[in-house]
Each structure stands twice: as structure tokens, then as C-alpha cells.
Amino acid sequence: MSTIEFFFFSALTSLNYKLNFSDVAFSLLCLFVFSSILQKLTSRGPMLWPVFGIFPSLIMHCTSLHEWITKSLIDNGGTIPFRGLTIGGIRGFVTADPIKIEYMLKSKFNNFPKGKYYRERFSELLGQGIFNADDQSWKHQRQAAATVMHSVRFVEYSTQSIQDLLNNKLLKVLENLVDSKVCIDLQELLLRFTFDNICVAAFGVDPGCMSIGLPHVPFAKAFEEATESTLCRFMMPPFVWKGLKFFNLGCEKRLKAAAKIVHDFAEKTVQERKKELAQHENINLDEKSDLLSRLINLEKGGRNGYFSDKLLEDFCISFILAGRDTSSVGLAWFFWLVSLNPQVEKNILQEIHDIISLRGKNMEKEVKNSNIVFTTEELHKMVYLQAALSESLRLYPPVPFDFKEVLEDDVFPDGISVKSGEKVLYSIFSMARMEWVWGSDCREFKPERWIKEGAFVSENPFKFAVFNGGPRLCVGKKFAYMQMKMVTASVLSRF
């Protein structure tokens, strides 16, 4: 043994003799505290703790998470860094800056995909469906969706299906509940309505959530369970939820069971529909106008040649996910805001009255008997109602934030650098509360901000990112507005 080796060994032996567990623990605690203080002094935004990242701060503010994030963004110019648990390796930025959002959703669209992080968490429920796809897969599905949803037949079919479900079920249920003078969970009722409606539009099948007695529907319950269990994955480090998946435990066990029910239903529906259309091959195939049937017709016509049976299932499940929660949550917030703003309600009712008064002599009889069924043309004329709905969506977006994954190293227009693999979250909720984006009255429920010279004026989609923007702009935006206007006009004019 050399002199240096002997000295080193002697030093380690001496150190090991003098130190005990409490000394090591105290040293680590001091290091933790020092690192925390240093981070707080040198970085902007919420506290990013050593090892634990932003996780402890999220737990401390879990009851007012969106407001806390909003305040942090306001205090730091609209963009803050974040870091997850060290073992998870997630890091990036949170922003409410429309310029950055436009850069991601439009200017550098190809460099900010949904990414692997998002796709693997939704894989059991959405598979390769449009809302879980990137690149060529997304482009093919997007093109098919636009072709179908913008067709005259689908628009007429979806409009009629909303009218039927609204007038024959939702309004009748509400009338019975009013007569019985009981309290109701309006959001739950609206969730049932939008689920039935979107299933009719997507699959051409009514699951019956709005039937008399509001029955338990296994497919609807499984879909809700699968959605909630999927979202749990976003709140856990990968090693936790992947471990639960491997051992088939907890929320992963529930997700597996629920996703099987959802996909079994979708598979059965696709097979039955293809068989039905094949049996009527000599009959006009355009008689079926739901999304699934129209996509199958595209395939038979050789105009697409892309959809396998599995992809048809995934596509329609994605469509249901997009239309179920978003519309019901948006409607629930709208009715809550209107209940707090009686002048807005008065303005909406006056607009509805002015429009139906153009019908002439039969108008009073229809109003008295509550038999009003609004036409598409009448809904288009409801400018103030659309403004009120847009204002509600602005303040309380059904999807309060979204995120993108950075494909290659990039630099935002303001000079902030992002690295490959980082995540950029954008808070739609927070953006609505930024004075430098929406003005000093940004927190007010003010439908008038959407109207100029008596006409509805759309906002920059990257400032009002409720329906996404750029190439991924929601193809169902018109469908959603029509559905919400028909429901709100019918409910407010009666109750």
C-alpha cells in the first residue's frame, strides 16, 4: 500500500468513526435548505424544491390550483419554469402568453406535438385516435373528420339529433324535476345529455342516459371511470402508474376493466354497422349520416383507404371524449354565471323574444305552451347568446390547460429557450385573467366584449384557445356552439 493510499484509507476510517447517522441527516438537511433558499433567490415562479420539484407546492395549493398558477404567472410576466420529481425527469415551462401559444400551435406546429408523454397515458382509452395521434396518423384522421363533419348531411343529422334529444328528453326531465320541486345536480344531468348526444352523432346509437328515471348505463359509467383513471396517470411519476399497471392494482386495474367495456362496445358497434351497410349495399349508403357510417362510406368509396376497424373504434371514442365533458362542463358554468348576472339573462331572453316574434301570429301560442323549437337560422341570429357563451368559455374553459412536448431544441420569440423533451403547459384559465391580454375588466363576465356594431366578433384563437388553434383547431367548434345555443335558448326560455 502506497503512502497516499494509506492516508486516504486512514482518513475514511477516521471519518467513519466520528460521524453517525444524525450527523449525516443534519448535513443533508442543511444542504436541502441551502439549495431551496438558493433556488428561491435565483429563480422566478413557484418554489422548485430539491428532489421533489414543484410537487410540494402543488399539494399545498391543491384546493385553489388554477388561481395559484394564475397569480404566479401574473407576478412573473406570463411564463414560469417548472420541474417535476427528479426521478421522473419532467421539466419545462408554464405560460399564458398568446405569442408563445401561437408559436407552438401554428408557427412551429411540427416541433410541438402532443408527444410520447401524452400518448402513452391515453393509450388504453384512445389508442391511435385523432386526439392521441401526431404526424401522418393525425393528418389522415383530421382530413377525414373535416370531410364528414363539414358535410351537409352530417350537419343536418347532428342538428336533428340535438333537437330530438333536447325536446323529447332533456326538457321533459327538467319539467318533471321542476314539478317535483327537488334539487338537481345540473352538471350531472347535462353530462348525461351530452353523452347521449355525442354517441348518437358518433356511433348512431343512443345509450339511453336520458331515459325516464335516469338509469345507470354501463357504457357511460365505464367511459367516465376510464377517463378519471387515465387522468390519474398525469398526477403520478411514471414508475408509480407503470408499476400499478404491471401488477394490475388500484386505478390501473380500474382503467383496464373500464377501457375493455368501452372498446368492446365500440368494436361491437363498428362490426354491426359494417355488416348492416354491407347487407344494404345496393341501397343508397348516404341514408346513414352518423360519423361512423360516413367514415365507413368514405372507405368503401375508395376516397380514404386508411381506416382499419380498430382505428374506426379509436376515432369514435376520441370524438366522444371531446364532446362529452367539454360541452356539459361549459354549459354548467354558463348557467351558473347567468344565475349571478340577471341583466345578462334579461338580455338573452329579450333577444330570444325578438327573434321568435318574427314568426308572427303563432308565436304567442308557442311561447304559452312552451313548444318552441328553434331553427338553425334562428340560432345563428342569437348574437348576444353566442357572446355570453363565449364569455363563459373564456372565464371557465372546460379544458383549463393543455401542453405540448418539445421535439427539438427551440427558442420562443421572446428569447426563452426550450430543450428537446421538455413540456410547455399553457393555461387557458390563467390567460383569461391577464390584464395585458384582456384588459382591466378581464375577470368580469361581460358578453359585450364580443360584440361590435351589433355583430359577434371572433377573437384571436391563440388569445381564446378554448377550441385550440392552428392546424389542430377543433373541427367540432360549430357543432359545439350549435349544441350549446340550442340547449341554453330552450332552457332559459322555459325555466
DSSP category for residue 49: B
Q: Which secondary-structure segment (H or E) carries 94?
A: strand 91-95
**How far is 179 from 370, CA to CA, in rounded Å?**
15
Q: Is 199 annotated as a binding residue?
A: no
Residues 6+ apart with CB under 8 A from 239: 87, 88
Closest CA to 322 of 94, 485, 141, 93: 141
Strand locations in 210-281 (E): none
CA distances from 142 to 88, 100, 145, 319, 472 (A): 32, 24, 5, 11, 8
Q: How far apart are CA 286 and CA 288, in angstroms?
A: 5
Rounded Cα distance, 393 and 326, in Å: 10
Q: How many whole angstroms separate alpha carbon 187 and alpha carbon 37?
A: 44
Per DSSP, the residues of 157-176 read HHHHHHHHHIIIIIHHHHHH
Q: Residue 260's closest CA among 139, 130, 143, 124?
A: 124
| Cα of 201 vs its chain's centroid, Å | 19
Run of H or E including 12: helix 3-18
- Determine the angle formed by the axes of helices 186-203 and 477-494, rounding to 10 degrees: 140
- Cβ(290)–Cβ(202) below 8 Å: yes
Question: What is the widest separation between alpha-carbon atoms in the chain?
Answer: 111
> How many CA atoms does the CB half-sphere of 57 hold within 13 Å?
20
Which residue has 354491426 as its cell numbers? 272
- Name the DSSP class of 78: T
- Annotation: binding site for heme: 474
Binding site, annotated residues: 474
